[in-house]
Amino acid sequence: MITTKDKILSAVTKPTRYTGGELNAVMKNPAEVDVRFAFCFADTYEIAMSHLGLKILYHTLNDRPDTYCERVFAPWTDMEEEMKKHGMRLFALETGDEVTHFDMMGFTLQYELCYSNVVNMLMLADIPVLAKDRDESYPIICGGGPCAYNAEPVADIFDFFMMGEGEDVIHEVVDEYVKWKKSGKKSKRDYLEAIAEIEGVYVPSFYDVEYNEDNTIKSVTPNNPHAKPTVRKRIMKDFDATYAPETIIVPFGEVVHDRVMLEIMRGCLRGCRFCQAGYIYRPLRERKPDTLLGIADNLLSCSGYDEISLSSLSTSDFSGLPDLTDGLLEMTEKKKIGLSLPSLRIDNFSLELMEKVQKVRKTGITFAPEAGTQRLRDVINKNINEEDIIKSTNLLFRGGWTSVKLYFMIGLPTETMEDVRGIADLAQKVLDVYFGIPKEERAKNINITVSTSSFVPKPFTAFQWAKQDTRDMLIEKQNELKSAIKSKRIRYNWHDNKTSYLEGVFARGDRRLCDVIIKAVQKGCKFDGWGEHFNFDAWMSTFDDLGIDPDFYTARERSYDEVLPWDHIDIGVTKNFLMRENEKAKKAATTPHCRLRCAGCGAKSFGTGVCYE
């Protein structure tokens, strides 16, 4: 039989993005559950299906007999056109049903540039975008993920946010939903009041924001007795025992991370001052090698994947690494499975390990010095020095590697042109290391790639008060660097500064931005993270139309006594600590990592992890 679905799917690229039915996708009868939950990711299938959090929450929700969690992703623009042509609304992959009257929708907010897609998805679902316009017949819409820590720019869209790790809190909010539904779903407010009592839950409509005349925030005050003055993030205290799914969905088409991802630890002990992940996931917690080997064996068997990758913020800091890699190598060699080890610091141990892992092929190696001079690396507390890089590249080149990528940021606080030129000097020194090795002892054809991204100050970092470089300034620095690179063996890539600018606006934005986002989507903005769709002019004209100056969010150095839009959120790391770190940064003074000496960041209050080793 010829169906509308066939006509639509035959007309779009990569139709398996929309068919569902993959191995280990969960099939249930929706009539037999209390809660239909749509796990939403506001980007393409390939990106969404690479996200570890989705895999965890999807399966933990589906382990409940009373809940059916399905996946909902942003349709690519060709699919959106076909959907509109055929009057089809946003649908869930498992059942193909429209999400319009699901019980709950949960968006994971992984990056600021997905906000336009969130709004666009709601429009495609025919769901009112603003929370206040949705009555009890529409899904309750919640959000989580790193951007939830300052979700003020989308606060008017969401009913609530969950701060921190979701494995437990998601069940608590679903439990409350079941109670509310069984009591007849009288008023949405009842539900929100019930969950506002749960630690980690933030109901933005329960807080009033007042502004000063200069547009800075005067106060954020709870307007509901159930809302707490500050909302504290949730973490999994016993990470070793934290839920790991028994199975994973295996996509039909190729996705970005098409492999088993083994989450070896959460959090990072390094304390790089620009890094939001380094602060918000504190304290560092590890799984035991034995636990991990069990998870790995199970996921490889149930998926049939031929590759496994370790997932963490800094693999080398994992204390059980030798035991884990020995066990994994035994497993992967037998089954002819590839093992990838991202985020390794290069030393003799890791080099030996890499030799074992990739017996023949020497792929590229990436270093992230982040800044070109030692002074600036000290400012950002990036614990890597020139000697490390020289020593490790020497080892690498002698080991047969010939492709080195160096990642930097430009626009870091206190950066001067000298620091920018330092990037070129460092790349040159790496090249000199290669040429300093006798020809017989190195492989041919060296190539070095220097990449720069533009620094975007993020909430809950030591640089949350900092001024972001203007686009003109960034372009000047990129040009300076281009002309400072002399060798043809060094290639330079840089990141577009327009997307960084918009990212900077949203990262530290407030509730006044919500209208801008909705208006921009009405003008056609979506997939802002995709160069071919990003329409900077449309965004700028929208700011203009609404009389909002985007520079207000990026170009200002904030004072310590300014009320920040995210001050009512508590990540465990204290504002005082961040201030201290910012002051030390100004003096280029470093802070040792957690295992060397506790810096007193505040995360110890969670009572677990590296703080108690």
Asked whether the beta carbons of 341 and 332 are under 8 A apart, the reply is no
Q: For residues 29 and 559, which CB has a smaller minimum distance to another protein in the complex?
A: 29
Binders of another protein in range 171-190 (CB under 8 A): none
Long-range CB contacts for residues 12-18, cutoff 8 Å, separation at least 24: 12/76, 12/78, 12/79, 12/82, 13/76, 13/78, 14/45, 14/76, 14/253, 16/251, 16/252, 16/253, 17/44, 17/45, 17/46, 17/73, 17/75, 17/76, 17/79, 17/253, 18/45, 18/75, 18/79, 18/93
355 binds another protein, rule: CB under 8 A: no
Strand partners, 144: 108
Q: Which stretch binds another protein (CB under 8 A): 18-26, 122-130, 157-165, 369-377?
A: 18-26
197 binds another protein, rule: CB under 8 A: no
Considering only 100, 298, 303, 383, the residue that binds another protein (CB under 8 A) is 303
Considering only 243, 252, 349, 530, the residue that binds another protein (CB under 8 A) is 252
297 binds another protein, rule: CB under 8 A: no
Q: Which stretch binds another protein (CB under 8 A): 15-23, 232-240, 366-374, 478-486?
A: 15-23
State the residue for tokens 């060397």: 596
Q: For residues 13 and 559, which CB has a smaller minimum distance to another protein in the complex?
A: 13
86 binds another protein, rule: CB under 8 A: no
Collapse the DSSP code of 306 into the 3-class scheme (helix H, G, I; strand E, B; otherwise coil) and give the result: coil
Strand partners, 70: 38
Q: Shortest CA distance to 575 belongs to which of 565, 560, 594?
A: 560
Question: CA 261 to CA 249: how far, in whole Å?
Answer: 12
b/e string for 120-145 if b means 16 or more Cβ within 10 A?
bbbbbbebebebeebeeebbbbbbbb
Q: For residues 55 and 382, which CB has a smaller minimum distance to another protein in the complex?
A: 55
β-sheet with 160-162: strand ranges across: 67-73, 35-41, 104-108, 140-144, 160-162, 201-202
Minimum CB separation from another protein for residue 85, in Å?
13
DSSP 8-state assignment for residue 576 = H
Q: For residues 359 and 444, which CB has a smaller minimum distance to another protein in the complex?
A: 359
Q: What is each CA distance from 152 to 148, 216, 284, 405, 408, in whole angstroms?
A: 8, 14, 27, 36, 29
Strands 207-211 and 67-73: unpaired
Considering only 172, 190, 199, 306, the residue that binds another protein (CB under 8 A) is 306
Phi, psi dihedrals of residue 62, rounded to the nearest 5°: -75, -15
- Reading the block at residue 220, the tokens are 């954020």
- Site map 510..549 versus another protein, x via CB under 8 A: ----------------------------------------
In SS3 terms, 238-265 reads as CHHHCCCCCCCCECCCCCCCCCEEEECE
7 binds another protein, rule: CB under 8 A: yes
Q: For residues 8 and 450, which CB has a smaller minimum distance to another protein in the complex?
A: 8
552 binds another protein, rule: CB under 8 A: no
Q: What is each CA distance from 548 to 158, 495, 551, 555, in whole angstroms?
A: 22, 26, 9, 14
Asked whether the beta carbons of 420 and 460 are under 8 A apart, the reply is no
Half-sphere exposure of 557 (CA within 13 A, CB side): 4
Minimum CB separation from another protein for residue 400, in Å?
14
193 binds another protein, rule: CB under 8 A: no
Q: For residues 179 and 335, which CB has a smaller minimum distance to another protein in the complex?
A: 335
81 binds another protein, rule: CB under 8 A: no
Binders of another protein in range 361-400 (CB under 8 A): 361
Minimum CB separation from another protein for residue 1, in Å?
8
- Site map 580..599 versus another protein, x via CB under 8 A: --------------------
Question: CA 573 to CA 164: how far, in whole Å?
Answer: 13
The contacts of residue 402 (CB under 8 Å, 6+ apart) are: 362, 434, 442, 443, 444, 445, 446, 447
Binders of another protein in range 311-340 (CB under 8 A): 335-336, 338
309 binds another protein, rule: CB under 8 A: no
Q: Which stretch binds another protein (CB under 8 A): 74-82, 248-256, 365-373, 536-544?
A: 248-256
Minimum CB separation from another protein for residue 19, in Å?
6
214 binds another protein, rule: CB under 8 A: no
Q: For residues 298 and 343, which CB has a smaller minimum distance to another protein in the complex?
A: 298
Q: For residues 20 and 144, which CB has a smaller minimum distance to another protein in the complex?
A: 20
Q: For residues 252 and 552, which CB has a smaller minimum distance to another protein in the complex?
A: 252
The DSSP annotation for 194-220 comes to HHHTSTTEE-GGGEEEEE-TTSSEEEE
Question: CA 326 to CA 517: how far, in whole Å?
Answer: 49
Minimum CB separation from another protein for residue 94, in Å?
12
132 binds another protein, rule: CB under 8 A: no
360 binds another protein, rule: CB under 8 A: yes
Binders of another protein in range 253-292 (CB under 8 A): 253-254
Q: For residues 52 and 302, which CB has a smaller minimum distance to another protein in the complex?
A: 302
Considering only 304, 537, 547, 597, the residue that binds another protein (CB under 8 A) is 304
Q: For residues 7 and 482, which CB has a smaller minimum distance to another protein in the complex?
A: 7
Strands 104-108 and 35-41: parallel
Binding residues for another protein, rule CB under 8 A, total 28
Minimum CB separation from another protein for residue 361, in Å?
5
Count the Cβ atoms, other than its own, within 10 Å of residue 547.
Answer: 7
Considering only 21, 342, 400, 436, the residue that binds another protein (CB under 8 A) is 21
Question: CA 178 to CA 279: how far, in whole Å?
Answer: 34
Q: Shortest CA distance to 566 belongs to which of 187, 229, 150?
A: 150
Q: For residues 172 and 306, which CB has a smaller minimum distance to another protein in the complex?
A: 306
For residue 85, the one-letter residue type is K
Considering only 52, 250, 395, 540, the residue that binds another protein (CB under 8 A) is 250
Q: Give the interface with another protein as residue ranges (CB under 8 A).
A: 1-2, 6-7, 9-10, 15-16, 19, 21-23, 250, 252-254, 300-306, 335-336, 338, 360-361
